[in-house]
Structures are given as C-alpha cells and as structure tokens.
Structure 1
Amino acid sequence: MPKEMDFNEVDQNFVSAVADKRNKIPRKSLNYRTPLEVFLSYIDESHLSSLN
C-alpha cells in the first residue's frame, strides 16, 4: 500500500483482508509464530464460546 493512501476512501472489506493476511505471517520476534497464534494462546475455551 502506498504511503499516501487515503484510508478514508478504503472500504472495511479491504482493511479486514489486509489485517487477516498480515496476522498470518510468522514473526521472528514471536518465535516464528503468527500474531494470530500468539493471541489465541492467551484465550481459553470459555472466551471463545462466548463469542458466538
């Protein structure tokens, strides 16, 4: 995405797609786990079931 991109003109579907893609990239700083994996490691089953 270009630096001068105006985020006021970007729709939510695009932002969500980019966030989803970026959260699935393994990071060296997270011991080569993805941000999503790290986030989910802090959430237990009771939290997940309450999201439905």
Structure 2
Amino acid sequence: VSSIAHKRNTIPRKSLHYQTPLEVFLSYLDEAVLSSLI
C-alpha cells in the first residue's frame, strides 16, 4: 500500500497545474514559514 501511495503522489496532476501533490504542499509550507518570519 505504501509503495502504491508513493507512486500515485509522484504523478503530476492536471488539477494542480501539472505539479505533484508534494510540490504543491511544499509550496504552501514555504509560504507559511516565510509569512511567520515577517
């Protein structure tokens, strides 16, 4: 199950503008960290 989840999460999605779910998550995380530093 873990390997299937990893494989599915590394596929770029059209609904995410062809980014992977991990890339989208990290972009929001970076914004949250930067905004908390200001």
Which of the five TM-score ranges fits, normalised by the shorter chain? Answer: 0.5 to 0.7
Count of aligned positions: 31
Consecutive aligned runs of 4 or more in structure 1 exceeding 6 Å deviation: none
Using the size of structure 1 for normalisation, the TM-score is 0.51
TM-score, with structure 2 as normaliser: 0.66
Find the aligned partners of 1:35 and 1:21 in 2 and give their Cα distance.
Answer: 11
| 1:1-52, Cα deviation, whole Å (9 max, x unpaired) | xxxxxxxxxxxxxx111111100001111000011111111123x6xxxxxx
Give the residue type in structure 2 aligned to 1:30: L
Question: RMSD value over aligned CA atoms?
Answer: 1.3
Percent of aligned positions that are identical:
74
2:2 to 2, 16, 32: 16
Instruction: Give 1 or 2 for the bigger CA radius of gyration.
Output: 1
Question: Whose relative contact order is higher, 1 or 2, with alpha carbons under 8 Å and at least 6 apart?
Answer: 2
